[in-house]
Amino acid sequence: MNETIDLKHIARVEGYGRLIVDIDNKQLKDAKFNVLEGARFFEGILLGKKYNEVPIIISRICAICSASHSIVSTYAVENALSIRPSEQTHLLRKLLVYGEMIESHLLHTYYLALPDYIRQPSVIPLASSHPDVVKRAFYGHGLGNEIQRKIGGRAVHPIRNVVGGFSMFPSLEEMESIRKKIPLMIEETLETIKLFRDLPDQPTIESKRDYAAIWDCNEYAYCYAKEIAHGYGDPFPATEYQTHLIEEVRPYSHTKFSSLNGESFMVGALPRLNLNHHLLTNVGKEALELSKLNLPDFDTYHNNIAQLVETVDCAQRSIDILDKFISDDFEFETFDFNPKPGNGIAVTEAPRGLLVHQYTFDEDLRCTYCDVVTPTAYNQHKMETDCVDLIPRIAHRPREDIELFLNMLIRAYDPCISCSAHSVKLDVKFV
Amino acid sequence: MSEKPRVGIFGMTSCYGCQLEIINLEENILRLLDHVNISYWRLALETPSDPKNLDIAIIEGSASNQEEIEELREIRQNSKIVITIGACAALGGVQGMRNLMNNERVMSAAYSNLSGVRATEVKAIHEVIKVDYAVRGCPINKEEFAAAILHLLAGTQPPAWNMPVCNECKIKGNECFFERKKPLPHYQSRVCLGPISEAGCGARCPSNGMPCDGCRGWTEDAHVKQWIKEGLERNQTIEDLAMLVHRYSGGTKDSEIAKE
Ligand code: SF4
Ligand code: SF4
Ligand code: SF4
C-alpha cells in the first residue's frame, strides 16, 4: 500500500514549512522538508551598508533569535574591523543571550511542544486543564523577556548591543529586580522537567548521527566561541566552517542540504548538552539528573527536555553575572574605536543551534560580502534523515499517530523557518 | 462562546517579531481571549483551523510573492476588519530596501541560482488590499496592539499619534543627537529620524542610546526634504540618507523620494 503523508502547514513553529513523506508498504520511500517562507535576501540588502547599520538590519532576519543575530553580527563586524570589545561587553552579551535562551526555550517547550505531549491542539485549552503549568509558562517566559528588555533595551530586536559595546547600561535597581525573580523560575522549570519526563506514550527515535555546536573548552558556550565541536571528531576553528559544514544543492529541491563528513547532523540544545554537559553549573547538573537523560542522547524528541535543562543552567548563569555586577564591578563604559577594513567571521549558538555570520568591508567600511547560515538551514537535512529512522518504528500505527509523531519530530527541532528562509532555495512546485 | 468575535492572525514575509509580541503579552492574552475567539493562528494553533468569516484579521509581514498576494485577497474577502501589525506590513519592512536597490544584484547575493526563487516586488499590505488600521513599529508595542484590538471591538477608532518621536523624546529628557557638542561615537549614525517619524513608541531608541531609525514610518506632515538637507549638512551622502529614510519603508509608494 502506498501512502503519502503531506503535512502542509507545520503549525506551531516559527515560519511556514511543509513535510512530505512517502511510505510504500510500511517502508519509507522519500521524505522532503520544504521551506515555504517568502525570501528576504538579507545578504543582498546589506551590500553597500555601513558597518554600524549591519547588526541593526540583520537582527530582523528573525525575532526569536534576534539577540543571537545581533550579537554574532556585532562580533563578526568587530572581527572584520579589528575592534576588541571589553570584558564587560562580553558579559552583558552573555546575559542578553541567557535571557533569549530562557525566553525561546520556554516559548517552545510550553507553548509549541507541550500541547502535543498532552494531545491538545494548542496551549489555550491548557489554561483551564493545567492552570499551574500555564502560570509557570507566563512567569518564566516573561522573565526571559524582561532580561532581554533590561539588558538589550527591547525584548525583540535589541537596541543597546552595538558594534564595540553597549549604547546604554542597566541600572542597579533593574539588575536587582531581575535577580530576585530568577530563583522561583528555576524551581518551577525543574517541576516542568519532571512533567516532560513522566508523560506516558511518547514517540522515540534513535538516530545515531553527528551533532555540532560552538566550542570553548573552559565553559558551556552559549554565546560566541572560536571553535566548533562535533560528536565524532576533533573541534575545528570556526573560520573553517565552510570547509567542514558543506552546503549542497540537490536537483529535486531548491533547498540547501548541510552535511558534516558526508552525513546529516543536528544542531540545537541536545547537541550542546551532549558536548558540554560536564561544564554545566551545579544547578544545571541537578536539572540534567532530574531529566534522566543519558548522554550522549540521540533521540531528537529529547531536544525539548534538553532545552529545559539549558533553561535552568542559563538562569543560574544569569544569577552569577548579575551577582558579580551588583556586588562590585559594574562600570558605565564609554568607548570608541578605530575601524579598519577586512573580513570577519563569528559563530554563536542561537536557541535552536549553531549560527554563523561572515562579512567583508571595504575601505569605506561598507559591506561588500555577507554570509549567514542559520540553525534551521543546518538541521533541515537531518529532519529528512530522521524520518527515515522514524517511519519503521511507527509505520504500524494509525495514520493520526504517524502524522502527530512526524509533526512532533519537526517541532522538536524548534525550527525557525523564517530564519532559514533568508538563504535557502525555495521550492517552486505546489503539488 | 460562539458569539465572541472571531479573529485570525496571519503571517506574510516577516521575522515573526510582531506575532511574538502578541505572545509576549503573557497572561494578558487570557484577558484578550475573554473578548475574542482566535480561530486561525498558525504560530500557536494546530491545523485545521478556520480562516473564514472573521471579524478581525490581523496581518503581519509584507507581500513578497504571488501566493501571498492571493492569500491577502482571500483574507480581505473573509474578514470584516483588516488590521496590520508592524513595519513589514505597513511599510514593507527592511526587506523592502531591495525595491530601492539593484534588485538583481541583491537577489543574486543571496542565491547563486535565481531560477527557483519566487519573489515579486516587496509591497506593504495596503498596496495590495484595503487596510482598516495599522499598528506601527518594528516590532509593534504589545500594549499598543492590545489597546487597538479593544478599541476595534468596542467599535471605536484606535488613537492616531500625529506627532513626531521628538516630542516624546523631549518629554523623556534625552540629550538630542543633533545638539551634542562632542562628536558622536562611531557606532551611532550621525543623524536621527525622530523629527519626521511618527511617535507612539515612547522614543524607544533615543532612550536606549541610539538614534531613531524610523520604524514607525513618517508623520503625516513630515518635512522629509528638509530633513535630508540637514543630513547633507552633517556630511552624509544622499544615497545613505535615502536608504536610511527608507530603512523600513521600501514597500510603499513614498519610496519615490529615494529615486530622486
Ligand atoms: S515589523 Fe519588524 S518585528 Fe515585525 S515582523 Fe517585520 S521585521 Fe519583524
Ligand atoms: S528623537 Fe532624535 S532628533 Fe528628536 S529630540 Fe530625540 S534625539 Fe533629537
Ligand atoms: S525611536 Fe524610532 S526607530 Fe525607535 S522604536 Fe521609535 S519610531 Fe521606531
Q: What is the pLDDT of residues A276-305, one digit of tens each?
A: 999 999 999 999 999 999 999 999 999 999
Cβ count near A21 (within 10 Å): 23
Q: Which residues contact A260 (CB under 8 A, 6 or more apart)?
A: A210, A212, A230, A244, A245, A246
pLDDT score at A425: 33
Cα of A88 to nearest chain B Cα, Å: 17
Residue B44 has its nearest CB partner, among A12, A155, A334, at A12
Tens digits of residue pLDDT in A25-43: 777 777 777 766 667 788 8
Average pLDDT of every residue of chain A = 89
Tens digits of residue pLDDT in A48-80: 999 999 999 999 999 999 999 999 999 999 999
Of A110-124, A141-155, A224-238, B46-60, the poorest mean pLDDT is in B46-60
- Chain A, window 205-244: residues with a beta carbon less than 8 angstroms from a chain B beta carbon: none
Tell me the pairing of strands B37-41 and B6-11: parallel
- Mean pLDDT of all residues in A248-275: 82
Q: Tell me which amino acid residue B164 is.
A: P
Task: Check pLDDT > 70 for residue B206.
Answer: yes
- Pick the closest to residue A100 from A150, A165, A151, A145 (CA basis): A145
Beta carbon of B18 within 6 Å of any ligand 3 atom: no
pLDDT score at B161: 85
- Mean pLDDT of all residues in B108-118: 60
- Indicate the DSSP class of residue A216: -
Task: Check pLDDT > 70 for residue B116.
Answer: no
Determine whether the interchain pair B209/A45 forms a contact, defined as Cβ–Cβ distance below 8 Å: no
Determine whether the interchain pair B205/A53 forms a contact, defined as Cβ–Cβ distance below 8 Å: no
Query: pLDDT band at residue B152, thresholds of 50, 70 and 90?
Result: very high
pLDDT score at A80: 97
Task: Check pLDDT > 90 for residue A158.
Answer: yes
Determine whether the interchain pair B118/A428 forms a contact, defined as Cβ–Cβ distance below 8 Å: yes
Q: For A149, name the nearest residue in chain B, comparing CA atoms only.
A: B208
Q: Which atom of ligand 1 is nearest to the CA of B16?
A: 5
Determine whether the interchain pair B13/A50 forms a contact, defined as Cβ–Cβ distance below 8 Å: no
Q: Which residues contact A19 (CB under 8 A, 6 or more apart)?
A: A5, A6, A7, A10, A31, A32, A33, A34, A383, A387, A406, A410
Determine whether the interchain pair B12/A168 forms a contact, defined as Cβ–Cβ distance below 8 Å: no
What whole-number percentage of chain A has pLDDT above 90?
Answer: 65
pLDDT score at A427: 31
Tens digits of residue pLDDT in A374-406: 898 899 889 888 988 888 888 888 888 888 898
Question: Is residue B175 less than 8 Å (CB to CB) from chain A?
Answer: no
Tens digits of residue pLDDT in A314-327: 999 999 999 999 99
- Mean pLDDT of all residues in B42-67: 85
Task: Check pLDDT > 50 for residue B44.
Answer: yes
Task: Check pLDDT > 70 for residue A153.
Answer: yes
Triad A152, A175, A155: Cα angle to 5°: 25
Task: Check pLDDT > 80 for residue A8.
Answer: no
- Pick the closest to residue B43 from A54, A222, A124 (CA basis): A124
Q: Whose CA is nearest to atom 2 of ligand 3?
A: B212
Tens digits of residue pLDDT in B233-252: 888 888 888 889 999 988 88
Write out residues with Cβ below 6 Å of ligand 2: B 165-166, 169-170, 174, 176-178, 192, 194-195, 203, 206, 211-212
Assess whether the previous peptide bond of B51 is cis (omega < 30° from 0): no
- Mean pLDDT of all residues in B171-192: 80
Average pLDDT of every residue of chain B = 87
Mutate to test the interface with A, among B12, B13, B16 (most CBs of A within 10 A): B16
Task: Check pLDDT > 80 for residue B186.
Answer: no
Residues A96-113 as b/e (b if ≥16 CB within 10 A, e otherwise) read bbbbbbbbbbbbbbbbbb
Of A185-189, A194-198, B46-50, B197-201, the poorest mean pLDDT is in B46-50
Query: pLDDT band at residue A256, thresholds of 50, 70 and 90?
Result: low
DSSP string of B158-202? PPP--SBHHHHHHHHTPPPGGG-SSPPPTTS-S---GGGBB--S-
Task: Check pLDDT > 50 for residue A103.
Answer: yes
Q: Decide if B110 contacts B77 (C-beta within 8 A).
A: no
Residue A167 has its nearest CB partner, among B95, B209, B239, at B209
**Model-level ipTM above the cut of 0.85:** yes
Task: Check pLDDT > 60 for residue B113.
Answer: no
Task: Check pLDDT > 50 for residue A428.
Answer: no
- Determine the residue of B175, B176, B201 to mutate for testing ligand 2's pocket, defined as the one with the most ligand atoms within 8 A of the Cβ atom: B176
Determine whether the interchain pair A423/B46 forms a contact, defined as Cβ–Cβ distance below 8 Å: no
- Which has more confidence, B184 or B160? B160
- Mean pLDDT of all residues in A151-174: 95
Three-state DSSP at A377 gives helix
Give backbone dihedrals phi and psi of A148, rounded to 5 degrees, phi first. Answer: -65, -35
Cβ count near A278 (within 10 Å): 8
**Which stretch, A8-12, B59-63, B104-108, has highest mean pLDDT?**
B59-63
Of A200-214, A352-366, B181-195, B240-254, the poorest mean pLDDT is in B181-195
User: What is the C-alpha separation between A8 and A410, in angstroms, rounded?
Assistant: 13
- Chain A, window 141-170: residues with a beta carbon less than 8 angstroms from a chain B beta carbon: 141-142, 145, 153-157, 159-160, 162-168
Distance B197 CA to ligand 3 centre (A): 8
Beta carbon of B258 within 6 Å of any ligand 3 atom: no
Task: Check pLDDT > 60 for residue B1.
Answer: no
Cell reading at A357: 555570520
- Mean pLDDT of all residues in A108-114: 92
- Determine the residue of B174, B208, B219, B230 to mutate for testing ligand 2's pocket, defined as the one with the most ligand atoms within 8 A of the Cβ atom: B174
Task: Check pLDDT > 60 for residue A371.
Answer: yes
Task: Check pLDDT > 80 for residue B258.
Answer: no
